[in-house]
Amino acid sequence: MGMIGVETAMAQHTITVYDTDRQPSVSTPEDMARLAGRVFPLSERIAGGNGEAFDLGEWFVNWRAQRGIAAEAPLPTHMKVEAADTFEALIPWEQLKEAAVLFALNGAPLAKGGPARLYVPNGTSECLNVKRAVVWRFLQDEEKRGEVSYGFKQTFTADEMRSKR
């Protein structure tokens, strides 16, 4: 792999999280797994699943505590997950019970689907199991409560167009 390839691979090994305060925070999936406090085989949540995962909800509680957000603060209404290939999913909070984040296979970073893949066992569609999940946004949007969507992003900002050339 040449220099540019290595840099690209490293750049994609981080996840940028935006909470409802919209302040971004950049982490590696390994740091997120440590913050979650517990790692388990994906097969505990997904039949036939392979690799190591952490619980999204366990991570989320500790993530908010670390950021000084009060435990009684309102929960998000949705999580929006954006992938490196421009696939994205909007997932209602209620569907994220038991959601798991796959981040390693036999102790090594994911060669495919990395830096992390979200699995939503209580989701209305397997299409919500977003691979290469590089941006996570926790949203508060009462008007869209319960709304689900997924697919390839259709609109791009001028900056995004330039960076994709």
Ligand X SMILES: Nc1nc2c(c(=O)[nH]1)N[C@H]1C(S)=C(S)[C@@H](COP(=O)(O)O)O[C@H]1N2
> b/e map of 135-147 (b: 16 or more CB within 10 Å)?
ebbbbbeeeeeee
Regarding 148 and contact with Mo ion (CB under 5 A), the answer is: no
Under the binding rule (CB under 6 A), the answer on residue 44 touching ligand X is no
Stretch that binds ligand X, among 66-74, 102-110, 128-136, 153-161 (CB under 6 A): 128-136
Among 13, 34, 64, 131, binds ligand X (CB under 6 A): 131
Query: Closest distance between ligand X and the C-beta of residue 116, in Å?
Result: 11
Residue 28 CB-density burial (10 A; 0-12 exposed, 13-18 middle, 19+ buried): middle
Report the residue from 90, 132, 136, 138 that binds ligand X according to the rule CB under 6 A. 132
Beta strand 149-152 with 87-92 is: antiparallel
Stretch that binds ligand X, among 20-28, 54-62, 99-107, 124-132 (CB under 6 A): 124-132
Q: Does 141 bind ligand X (CB under 6 A)?
A: no
Q: Residue 54 in contact with residue 103, Cβ under 8 Å? A: yes
Q: Name the DSSP class of 56.
A: H
127 touching Mo ion, by CB under 5 A: yes
Q: How big is the chain by its Cα radius of gyration, in Å? A: 16
* Binding residue (CB under 6 A) for ligand X from 85, 94, 147, 160: 85
CA dist., res. 106 & res. 132, Å (int): 18
Q: How far is the CB of 153 from ligand X (least distance, A)?
A: 11
Q: Does the protein bind ligand X through residue 135 (CB under 6 A)?
A: no
Q: Where on the chain is the footprint of Mo ion (CB under 5 A)? A: 127
